[in-house]
Chains A and B, each alone.
Chain A
């Protein structure tokens, strides 16, 4: 590559990236910056007053510490389940389904058509006292009467989130599994590896970044969700997103909402950082 062409190539790259960059900057970075500033302000008589106060942040930990931890747990469990199930599905599509592999992935994507609210309502119906699960429990004699403990808890939230997020977890893993060629797997067996050793030492290491991407997408979405917990969460399933939404919509307490948002973001990045350190190994140099 000649150095004379470099500037025009850079310009080219900049032009290609510009539209997406503009959207991200205008719709994400700028509002975030504003919110960050506002999170240090105060509310007096329902009006925002500029300030340099950490009161809103202090309140997050006093009042919402438990919910924050619970949110991280819900998000983490959801993401782990998505990564596990997503890997199994992607593995089956890549290594066991033959030429039907791509079709299986398409089916997974098609389930996204259902939409997100529809899935929440569906689970509400499935898990309700006169729902599908209870009907089976009662009919099979496993339970004398319908259980009202299926809904409005952590489990219901995680089930619905996994249902919605699974396709997003499958895709990045599948993308990377396609790079693992069959010869590598034959070579591993040839060199003495059992099926399990081949999986752990040849296949999984080569889709680490895909697994991490699957975890990150599922986790960030789940930890930030405020609709699912509101409909299905009840007490134990409540998450901080609900309370952030409340601060903005009904309480008009932007500093509180902002501070909670940034604490949530920091906590999420911390979790991702820790998980990332486990998932992503550095390449040999």
Chain B
């Protein structure tokens, strides 16, 4: 009986003594502003209420597809933001730069903003390999993703050969 009391008391003391390490500053899960909720490639976009949504999500394209769509959704937008896409081909050369595009000009408090950019594919001009697309928000790199392009001309320095 005495022993069990001692053990019990020791446990309570251990808990109480170390209780200083427990914090009562419990915070909700962070949900920062201008969060890139999704950044992906697709073949089509569809309208859904006031927003757009991607259709045919993929990371593999053929030059014959004619275009690649880069879709982005940004969450918790409370002010005007500038979006910008940069596209790099397999040789790591910039092939398309949208420049800054102003979004939410009225500075509304928006739960989510959806936007997309289209890269036209000319089978005679584009080369196969891994392409890279970047999304900038207010001038800072916010997302990067790659897709694979097949078909098209070989624009490597060696050329296509015969």
The reply to whether chain A is a binding partner of chain B is no
